[in-house]
């Protein structure tokens, strides 16, 4: 193929031969994956990588919960315990949740938008293949002198400025992860803006595309901020700068400001794609169009903009002027408004719908219920005088696991069950899917609900030992965590079982209420789809069914 056509790959390729530059995917065996440029192959790589990291981070969580089963030190030295919490946090955030969403975007966006592939196929390959080395750096760091980073996933100096070389490996790992995120985001933005099927205007895209778009912009904005923070840390550690060293005229609190200017948008990077997934699944199983589509888009954008103005709510207890406290407190509370709009719309979508409760729908409803709980505890924490009491207690741990586990992770489970028929060509076993849901739902709450009480009673986070009065709830939480973990083996089994044939072949459109474009192609989705874009009638049929276009 001529280079002219390869260049055309990067812009709107509709009507052009899109094979230029894609021949690498005809390789067999492992070379197929190493040289992968096909969005489906890369999506698959991302999803399996994320799952491996989920298990790794999960094992670390169980290491933490084992130690906290009883007061006293049973299994780990405190130094190693701190490495476990730190790596658990970093691996879950950057290794599991974020790559899983990027994997879904890779797999599904071209299918849902009617595009032949992602915009930059080779860069896509590199975005993925930066991840395994980054993960390796983190895991190797456990074995270097001094062990892995142990200052918490927030890497606050002065602790992180003094730590051993495990911290340097974590910093390099974060550089790679950030690079990967930025390239992945460029790909997502370009694909969405340039490669939609004719007739699909921005305000007629599936909501998952909208949340992916906004998330990608957030990442491009804040990944460099985190990179800057950790690079300043690196130069403080090795090259004689004093950005964060009070002794040299710097300020450790500066790090916190920079970190959380990244960190708060980061929590929406893990939440917005979940909103998008749930906004696809609930209409399908309610057999009704999404209620308030345009308000969903505006709510997504408002949340994204507000997320840049609230970072100070992580720093109330550091000390700041009362006006600054009020600013961060009220703006944080303001985020509840667009979030409330979303929850209202999901419920209104279900209202008077012909509901059925297949596994994806169960996880989606579980998401709505439990994410809302996490949202409310977030509101509680946003009250500055309350947060000065609750900061760094288990209440915070409870809060963010409600939004990250029952939020981000449950939405991912929902997405996997929803699209597994499209990926594998087979149906999963509904009974075992439901069992996975109910099992996760119960044990999740057993694990994390008691943590609210522990926090209110004053148990600090990031400690390997605790005062005797905290024993009972900790025991309950640890039992819950091990049961929750066990349930995820069932998830693994369900996925493998489906790949191997499941309960039988899946039709192109297994869900009665699914009206987006991915259900127009065969199951399993062929290696190449939408090589010529869907015709305008196909697109309009879906748009009308989703009520983003009026009936003619």
144 DSSP assignment: S
Among 398, 409, 427, 495, binds ligand HEM (CB under 6 A): 409
Q: Taking CB under 6 A as the rule, does residue 506 contact ligand HEM?
A: no
Catalytic annotation present for 268: yes
**391 makes contact with Cu ion (CB under 5 A):** no
196 among known catalytic residues: no
Binding letters toward ligand HEM, positions 96-125, x by CB under 6 A: -x----------------------------
Angle at 34 between CA 29 and CA 39, to 5 degrees: 100
- Out of ligand HEM, Cu ion, none, which partner does residue 264 contact, by CB within 5 to 8 A per kind? Cu ion
**Residue 387 burial by Cβ neighbours in a 10 Å radius (0-12, 13-18, 19+):** buried
User: Are the C-beta atoms of 304 and 218 separated by less than 8 Å?
Assistant: yes
Phi and psi at residue 393, to the nearest 5°: -105, 175
Cβ of residue 401: shortest distance to ligand HEM, in angstroms?
6
Exactly one of 46, 210, 260, 268 is catalytic; name it. Answer: 268
Q: Is 19 a catalytic residue?
A: no
By beta-carbon proximity to Cu ion, the closer residue of 306 and 415 is: 306
Decide if 180 is catalytic.
Answer: yes
CA distances from 12 to 37, 199, 200, 205, 206 (A): 17, 14, 14, 16, 19
- The residue among 93 and 169 lying less far from ligand HEM, judged by its C-beta, is 93
Instruction: Say what angle helices 165-194 and 78-90 make with each other, to 10 degrees.
Output: 10
What is the rounded radius of gyration, in angstroms, for the C-alpha atoms of the chain? Answer: 23
d(CA 286, CA 478): 36
Contact residue for ligand HEM among 85, 185, 339, 377 (CB under 6 A): 85
Query: Is the Cβ–Cβ distance between 38 and 527 less than 8 Å?
Result: yes
Contact set for ligand HEM, span 411-440 (CB under 6 A): none
The active-site residue out of 257, 434, 461, 462 is 461
Closest C-alpha to 414, from 330, 340, 491, 328: 491
Contact set for ligand HEM, span 62-81 (CB under 6 A): 64-65
Rounded Cα–Cα distance for residues 219 and 225 (Å): 10
Kindly state whether residue 150 participates in binding ligand HEM, applying the rule CB under 6 A: no
Q: State yes or no: residue 65 binds Cu ion (CB under 5 A).
A: no
Q: Cα dist. 104→25, 87, 121 in Å?
A: 19, 24, 16
| 314 in catalytic set | yes
Whole-angstrom distance, CA of residue 433 vs CA of residue 502: 11
Task: Kindly indicate which of the ranges 92-100, 124-132, 234-242, 346-354 contains the residues binding ligand HEM, using the contact rule CB under 6 A.
Answer: 92-100
Residue 468 DSSP class: G
Torsion 151-58-450-367 (CA) sign: positive
* Residue 264 in contact with Cu ion, rule: CB under 5 A: yes
353 binds ligand HEM (CB under 6 A): no
Q: Residue 511: which of Cu ion, ligand HEM, none does it interact with, CB under 5 to 8 A by kind?
A: none
93 makes contact, choosing from ligand HEM, Cu ion, none, with CB < 5 to 8 Å by partner type, with: ligand HEM
For position 288 contacting Cu ion by CB under 5 A, the verdict is no
Window 445 to 504, contacts with ligand HEM (CB under 6 A): 447, 461-462, 481, 484
Q: Which two tokens stand for residue 541?
A: 């049929």
- CB–CB of 233/255 below 8 Å? yes
Tell me whether residue 92 or residue 539 sits nearer to ligand HEM (CB atom): 92
Return the number of the residue (155 or 227) whose C-beta is nearest ligand HEM: 155
Q: Which ranges of 23-97 does DSSP label H, i.e. alpha helix? A: 29-34, 39-68, 78-90
Least Cβ distance, residue 59 to ligand HEM (angstroms): 10
Taking CB under 6 A as the criterion, the residue among 71, 146, 152, 198 binding ligand HEM is 152
Identify the active-site residue in 40, 65, 342, 452.
Answer: 342
Residue whose token pair is 């916190």: 256
Contact call for residue 218 and ligand HEM (CB under 6 A) = no
User: Which chain residues interact with ligand HEM by CB under 6 A?
Assistant: 58, 61, 64-65, 85-86, 88-89, 92-93, 97, 152-154, 397, 401, 404-405, 409, 447, 461-462, 481, 484
């Amino acid at each position: 193929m001529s280079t002219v056509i390869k260049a055309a790959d990067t812009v709107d390729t509709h009507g052009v031969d899109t094979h230029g530059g894609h021949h690498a995917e005809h390789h067999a065996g492992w070379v197929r994956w190493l040289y992968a440029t096909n969005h489906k192959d890369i999506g698959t790589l991302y999803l399996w990588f994320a799952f491996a990291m989920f298990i790794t981070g999960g094992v670390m969580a169980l290491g933490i919960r084992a130690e906290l089963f009883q007061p006293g030190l049973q299994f780990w030295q405190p130094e190693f315990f701190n490495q476990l919490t730190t790596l658990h946090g970093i691996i879950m955030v950057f290794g599991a949740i974020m790559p899983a969403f990027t994997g879904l975007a890779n797999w599904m966006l071209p299918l849902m938008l009617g595009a032949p592939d992602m915009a930059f196929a080779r860069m896509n390959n590199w975005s993925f293949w930066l991840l395994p080395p980054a993960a390796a750096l983190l895991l190797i760091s456990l074995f270097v002198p001094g062990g892995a980073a142990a200052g918490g996933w927030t890497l606050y100096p002065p602790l992180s400025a003094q730590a051993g070389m495990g911290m340097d490996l974590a910093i390099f790992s974060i550089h790679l992860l950030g690079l990967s995120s930025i390239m992945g985001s460029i790909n997502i933005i370009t694909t969405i803006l340039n490669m939609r099927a004719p007739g699909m205007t921005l305000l007629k895209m599936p909501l998952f595309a909208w949340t992916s778009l906004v998330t990608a912009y957030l990442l491009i904005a804040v990944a460099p901020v985190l990179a800057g923070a950790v690079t300043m840390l690196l130069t403080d550690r090795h090259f004689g700068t004093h950005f964060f060293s009070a002794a040299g005229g710097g300020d450790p609190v500066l790090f916190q400001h920079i970190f959380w200017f990244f960190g708060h948008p980061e929590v929406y990077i893990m939440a917005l794609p979940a909103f998008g997934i749930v906004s696809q699944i609930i209409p399908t199983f309610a057999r009704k169009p999404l209620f308030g589509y345009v308000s969903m888009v505006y709510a997504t954008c408002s949340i994204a903009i507000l997320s840049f103005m609230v970072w100070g709510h992580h720093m109330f207890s550091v000390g700041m002027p009362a006006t600054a406290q009020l600013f961060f407190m009220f703006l944080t509370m303001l985020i509840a408004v667009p979030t409330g709009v979303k929850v209202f719309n999901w419920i209104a979508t279900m209202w008077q719908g012909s509901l059925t409760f297949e596994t994806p729908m169960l996880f989606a409803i579980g998401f709505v219920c439990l994410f809302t709980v996490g949202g409310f505890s977030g509101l509680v924490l946003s009250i500055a005088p309350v947060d000065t009491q609750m900061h760094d207690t288990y209440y915070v741990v409870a809060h963010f696991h409600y939004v990250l586990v029952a939020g981000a992770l449950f939405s991912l489970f929902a997405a996997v069950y929803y699209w597994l028929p499209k990926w594998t060509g087979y149906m999963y076993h509904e009974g075992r899917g439901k069992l996975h849901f109910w099992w996760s739902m119960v044990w999740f709450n057993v694990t994390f609900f008691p943590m609210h009480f522990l926090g209110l009673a004053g148990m600090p986070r990031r400690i390997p030992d605790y005062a005797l009065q905290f024993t009972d709830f900790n025991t309950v939480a640890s039992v819950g965590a091990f049961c929750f973990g066990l349930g995820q083996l069932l998830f693994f089994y369900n996925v493998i079982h489906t790949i191997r044939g499941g309960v039988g072949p899946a039709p192109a459109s297994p869900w009665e209420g699914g009206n987006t474009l991915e259900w127009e192609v065969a199951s399993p989705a062929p290696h190449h789809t939408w090589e010529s874009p869907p015709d305008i009638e196909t697109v309009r049929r879906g748009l009308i069914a989703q009520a983003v276009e009026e009936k003619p």
